[in-house]
Structure 1
């Protein structure tokens, strides 16, 4: 098999995050699901934006955040996602390319506009996300560069994007392209609400052996397996998924692979500022180690280090030099 020119190619929502600190009372006042992610329509997006205090606009999207971490660590990356031909679309495209990530998906003309995620951050660092998917949910299968997918070591798919019909079809075609080329498929479950809507799809993909690396937190694992104890959930899936990675917040993370179980504690953080992107950056650290042939323990530790970096500041993209942090691992 030829050496892949790209290490990780991802398909995900092309979103610009709009983030603002807020008091706990505002979460209740607005009827938001604290700590969760809720899809909103155009009217609700305007209502929430009007209720926000001074905000920062930062390019986001779960898979794009993971690629930002991977690129910062030195991995060769590419992204497939849909923006509109508007100002936020230009912001997203500029930011991802400036991070050294290949992004060739053509912008979409007309409405709806580029997606945005309105994020309310409470004093404890917890983020409550309200996502307007906009143009990102209209990624057509025709937008895929199947040659680029076949030329990447790992195809990384964002569970959030499984919800809309067009990108779901695109991701199914991408899986076929990757597997046809003998490449690996990594999938992140993203959120329990996605599993509630599409869990049967995900369970069928696992049963069919279509997923080589599965990322989930302990809540998503329970939703997928129907087993409240994460150890039981791991036992159910570990024989079906070659690399199973479960994050547990402050309790660290676990990986099951090769018939063995590996665990790592969470990295200490002086102050949690904003948990946005913690799972995305954990996946970045783990995947960077994986594509570079590092041990499961090393992959877990690097994931924990990257997650700790991103929750120490606002925004879901790294600010510290991740290569320096990675070098400290040896």
Structure 2
């Protein structure tokens, strides 16, 4: 097996986040359950955007945020995702390059616009996400860079992109390429809403040995397994994936590998401002430490520190020197 030249290559939604503060009444008035994630049509996104207050725009997307975090921690990362030939697409491409993330997926011409996520943050720091995927769901097998996938130690996939047929086929092909090259595949379930309607597809991929490292939270493992007890759900999944990593919100995170289970508390923070990107940066920290050969406990702590940094400011990407904080 050839030596990897990149730590992690990810596939996911190429999205530009539009973030604004709001009060609880705004969510009620627009029938938006707090803390949830909704999929919007372009017209619905236009309507909600016009009602939002002053907003800030920054590139987002779950796996893309993770790769930005990996780069900020000194890792070598790459991203495969679809943007359109428009202003938001240019913003996304610029931001990825500026962060040091390899991103060369050919631009979509003549299709839907670049995806955007309208994120509403309430005073309690909870975020309600409203996503119009647009061009991101047009990613196809033709958009894959086979050599890039073969060159990375880990292929990282997000559940958000698993639903639509076209990008799902691209992901399955990428898994085949990675495993044929002797690489590992990491997968995040992303969000509970992603499991509804995709449970069988997720389960088939996991049961078929397509996943070497699985990221999930407690609610997601319960939904995926159909269990009502977290311990029973973990016991079922740990038999199917070599490494299982589960986040427990403010109660920390745990990981199971080779019969060993490690659990840590959440990293201390001074103030929670915006929980957007917490899971993305946790995965980034865990994977970065994993690629450097760190212990399971150190991987968890690196993820917790990265997640703790991003929830102390608006936006889903780090703004402080994460490399110095994690000390890898």
Q: TM-score, normalised by structure 2?
A: 0.99
Pairing 1:226-245 to 2, within 5 Å after superposition: 226-245=226-245
Pairing 1:195-210 to 2, within 5 Å after superposition: 195-210=195-210
Give CA deviations for 1:215-246 in whole Å, capped at 9, x if unaligned: 00111111101123222211111121111000
Give CA deviations for 1:129-157 in whole Å, capped at 9, x if unaligned: 00000100000101101111111100000
Structure 2: which 5+ runs fail to align? none
Give how far 1:208 is off. 1.2
- Segments of 4+ moved more than 4 angstroms: none
Give how far 1:271 is off. 1.2
Q: Which residue of 1 aligns with 2:123?
A: 123
SS at the partner of 1:254? strand
Q: Aligned-pair RMSD on alpha carbons?
A: 0.8
Q: Which residue of 2 aligns with 1:82?
A: 82
In the alignment, the residues of structure 2 paired with residue 270 and residue 56 of structure 1 have an alpha-carbon distance, to the nearest angstrom, of 23
Aligned length: 328
Q: Which residue of 2 aligns with 1:37?
A: 37
SS at the partner of 1:109? coil
Q: Which residue of 2 aligns with 1:301?
A: 301
Give CA deviations for 1:154-207 in whole Å, capped at 9, x if unaligned: 000011001111111100100000011110000000112211111111111111
Q: Which moved more, 1:309-318 or 1:231-240?
A: 231-240
Q: Which residue of 1 aligns with 2:321?
A: 321
In the alignment, the residues of structure 2 paired with residue 165 and residue 10 of structure 1 have an alpha-carbon distance, to the nearest angstrom, of 18
Give CA deviations for 1:87-111 in whole Å, capped at 9, x if unaligned: 0000000000111111110111123
Structure 1: which 5+ runs fail to align? none
Q: Which residue of 2 aligns with 1:190?
A: 190
Q: Which residue of 1 aligns with 2:290?
A: 290
SS at the partner of 1:197? coil
In the alignment, the residues of structure 2 paired with residue 230 and residue 4 of structure 1 have an alpha-carbon distance, to the nearest angstrom, of 36
Q: Which residue of 2 aligns with 1:220?
A: 220
Q: Which residue of 2 aligns with 1:156?
A: 156
Pairing 1:42-53 to 2, within 5 Å after superposition: 42-53=42-53
Q: Which residue of 2 aligns with 1:102?
A: 102
Give how far 1:276 is off. 0.3
Q: TM-score, normalised by structure 1?
A: 0.98
Give how far 1:267 is off. 1.0
